[in-house]
Structure 1
Amino acid sequence: MKLTFLFIAIAASLSACGKKETVAPVNPVRPALTQIVGVQAEEGGVFYSGEIRARNELTVSFRTGGKLIARPVEAGMRVKSGQVLARLDPLDAEFQAGAARAQYTLTESEALRYRELHRKGFVSQSVLDAKEAALQAASAQAGLTHNQSDYTVLRAAHDGVVAATLAEAGQVVSAGQPVLRLAQSGETEVSIEIPEADYAARHVGDKADIVLLTGAGAHMSGRLRELSPSADPVSRTYAARVSIVSAANHIALGMTARVRFEAAKTGAAELLIPVSAVYQQGGHPAVWIVSADHTVSLRPVEISAYRDSGAVIASGLAAGERIVTAGVHRLSAGEKIQLIAQVSVP
């Protein structure tokens, strides 16, 4: 009997262990980066990123074709006026020059002989004129082939820096094919791209503040020198050049710079939000609004311009409202979030 009770007790214990406790599901609160929307002062201006370039850049090429046998310069090297940049195989040009010189010598001797015959009355003036014309043609051909031989050596037309190499030794190049891009020493400027939304507000002569994004971030003054009248068909931006009025001592070609143009004085403040806060809803922009109880709702907005510093809100949002600025594609309406940051737009 005692053994029977023992078996029953063990079975009951095992049965109790096999039952799992039912735990009510808990919906985790998603952490989200938010900020309070603020008014951007008009004086902030409009910013563009660009690259330091030489004002005068030349694409250098040979005036004759041939096999490239040497290119003793590399990108970034400084060169002097007259310095050899590249060489073509001169053999063919030398053969042509030799043949032209031989033809000129033969034609010259014939012209001398016919001059003597004409003096003695054995040939007419027209025959002599033909020989004289042949001599002039041979002389021109000899000069041309001599120049072609000189054209196998490519030299720098001025002091500068090799901005890019476009052909390698061993490659066969044609006349006029780019071999190097040479940046002339002297004035420098910043190459930037102007978005369509900002094109009408930009004019040649606009003053700009330029900041290098390397080192100590030197500030320089500049002026919009050139603005393309047509947009790039792919990026839909307009190429522009900003001349540097007061260049920093340590400025170098290729450095990254930020260009700021003063904003137009319209009397109206701007609301600027991070581009990461914009959620596309059916092809239209919207933002997630955070309520007092930390739940989110999606609200359509109108964006007047996109800039390097963010998106400019035209309508649909007011200063002081809190929005989600990261992870906007993972949220759903009515969801409660945990605030992990509170940043205000200046």
Structure 2
Amino acid sequence: MRRIRWIVGIVLVAAAAAFGAWYLWQPAKVSVVTPQRGDAAEIVYASGSVEPRTWAKVTPVVRERIVEQCNCEGSRVAQGDVLAKLDDSEARAVLGELEARQALAQEELRRLTVLAERRAASQQALDRAQSELGQIEALVAGQKARLDTYVLRAPSAGVVLRQDGEVGEVAELGTVLFWVGEPKPLLVVAEVNEEDIPRVEVGQRALLKSDAFLRQNLEAVVDSITPKGDPVTKTYRVRFHLPDDTPLRIGMSTDVNIVIRVSKNALLIPSVAMDGNKVFVVEGDKAWRHEIRTGIRGSNGIEVLSGAEGKASVDGKIGIDDETRVVSPYPADLADGARVSITDAQER
């Protein structure tokens, strides 16, 4: 009985070993893609908004209630045209008081002048009256200038692109009530990260994406780059000139893809097929790890530079070509030279 149990144990161990050996020698299942030719573009991404090239904001410098406002949104105005008026009743009351004091000071100066001519008043009293009158006149002039700030005027000729606020509301300091400018030409103003800005130059082409025009190809050109960046956000402001026939409107947001350079007819493989600069290439029934030199890493794939014209080789030194079978996605747990079975082969 003991011998039978011993024999059964040997058989079970042998069977397990055979199964393990069979399992280990089973080829790994992989999917492959064939590299394709296409254009590879190096892109710098930014997000921005549409603004007119020429425009200005009109904000109150005093906190008062709006008593009058033009109905001029979308209309053209000339420089200096009145856009709104704020309640200046208190300021005018102060001016009236100052003007009354000014009249009294003028009368006092005239009286002392006559007395001084008759030697009935001292020169010192006359000088004091002249000084007091000068001070009051300065206060009157300052109050009149202050009254001008209660009237909001167009800073330049243009179109009222937008107006906010209503009669009866209190205009808070710094609140923009009017935007005045020219609706054309338009710019996209975007912030580009400081690590990308060295690659951006005036004249470069930019491809735009807007939620409002998903099916349209929108383009712009780098117009200018601010010389000084923002040390807090670590970005630089870049302006992009839009064509006159652009469908984009002022205030719209847009994604900006700045085309740094384009490689025509490049050999491309999917980014998921690579780990760093390594790929697996299938030759026969085995997969070999290759380290290749790459170029542009774009949305269409990764450009292969080394061996683009040569046949792939098991020595791992040449690269890949248009007919190479590249394992995709990259199999991180696959050993170099492992046997493989292709389950799916497709073009990119």
Q: Give me the TM-score of the superposition, normalised by structure 2.
A: 0.60
The CA deviation string for residues 79-125 of structure 1, in whole angstroms up to 9 with x for no partner, is 52345444432222122111111111111111121221222222233
The aligned counterpart of 1:101 is 99
The aligned counterpart of 2:249 is 252
- How far off its partner does 1:141 sit? 1.3
Rounded Cα–Cα distance in structure 1 between residues aligned with 2:88 and 2:32: 69
The aligned counterpart of 2:88 is 90
**Residue type of the partner of 1:129?**
D
Task: Tell me the SS of whatever aligns to 1:248.
Answer: coil
Question: Within the alignment, does 1:200 sit opposite 2:194 as a pair?
Answer: no
- How far off its partner does 1:193 sit? 2.9
The aligned counterpart of 1:224 is 223
Task: Tell me the SS of whatever aligns to 1:206.
Answer: coil
For 1:154, which of 137, 152, 155 is the aligned residue? 152
Q: Give me the TM-score of the superposition, normalised by structure 1.
A: 0.60
Contact between 2:52 and 2:185, CA under 8 Å: does it hold in 1? yes
- How far off its partner does 1:333 sit? 5.4
Question: Within the alignment, does 1:145 sit opposite 2:160 as a pair?
Answer: no
- How far off its partner does 1:240 sit? 0.7
The aligned counterpart of 1:41 is 39
Query: Structure 1 pair 88/207, CA: closer, same or farther in 2 (3 Å)?
Result: same
Task: Tell me the SS of whatever aligns to 2:260.
Answer: coil
Which piece of structure 1 moves more, 106-115 or 223-232?
223-232
Contact between 2:42 and 2:297, CA under 8 Å: does it hold in 1? no
Query: Structure 1 pair 215/333, CA: closer, same or farther in 2 (3 Å)?
Result: closer
**Residue type of the partner of 1:88?**
L
> Unmatched 5+ residue regions in structure 2?
1-30, 307-318, 335-340
The aligned counterpart of 2:127 is 129
Contact between 2:37 and 2:265, CA under 8 Å: does it hold in 1? no
Contact between 1:57 and 1:184, CA under 8 Å: does it hold in 2? yes
The aligned counterpart of 2:176 is 179
Query: Structure 1 pair 106/211, CA: closer, same or farther in 2 (3 Å)?
Result: same
Contact between 2:44 and 2:259, CA under 8 Å: does it hold in 1? no
Question: Within the alignment, does 1:233 sit opposite 2:232 as a pair?
Answer: yes
Task: Tell me the SS of whatever aligns to 2:249.
Answer: coil
Rounded Cα–Cα distance in structure 2 between residues aligned with 1:272 and 1:75: 57
Query: Structure 1 pair 127/47, CA: closer, same or farther in 2 (3 Å)?
Result: same
The CA deviation string for residues 17-76 of structure 1, in whole angstroms up to 9 with x for no partner, is xxxxxxxxxxxxxxxx9976656635x45364543211234343223x223335857997
Question: Within the alignment, does 1:69 sit opposite 2:74 as a pair?
Answer: no
The aligned counterpart of 2:10 is none
Task: Tell me the SS of whatever aligns to 1:222.
Answer: strand
The CA deviation string for residues 125-182 of structure 1, in whole angstroms up to 9 with x for no partner, is 33222212222221221122122223112222122344585999644634xx243462
The CA deviation string for residues 181-230 of structure 1, in whole angstroms up to 9 with x for no partner, is 62521532121232344321123x33435667538847666343123532
Query: Structure 1 pair 337/269, CA: closer, same or farther in 2 (3 Å)?
Result: closer
Rounded Cα–Cα distance in structure 2 between residues aligned with 1:337 and 1:179: 65
Task: Tell me the SS of whatever aligns to 1:263.
Answer: strand
Contact between 2:269 and 2:304, CA under 8 Å: does it hold in 1? no
* Aligned Cα root-mean-square deviation (Å): 5.3
The aligned counterpart of 1:28 is none
Rounded Cα–Cα distance in structure 1 between residues aligned with 2:166 and 2:276: 47
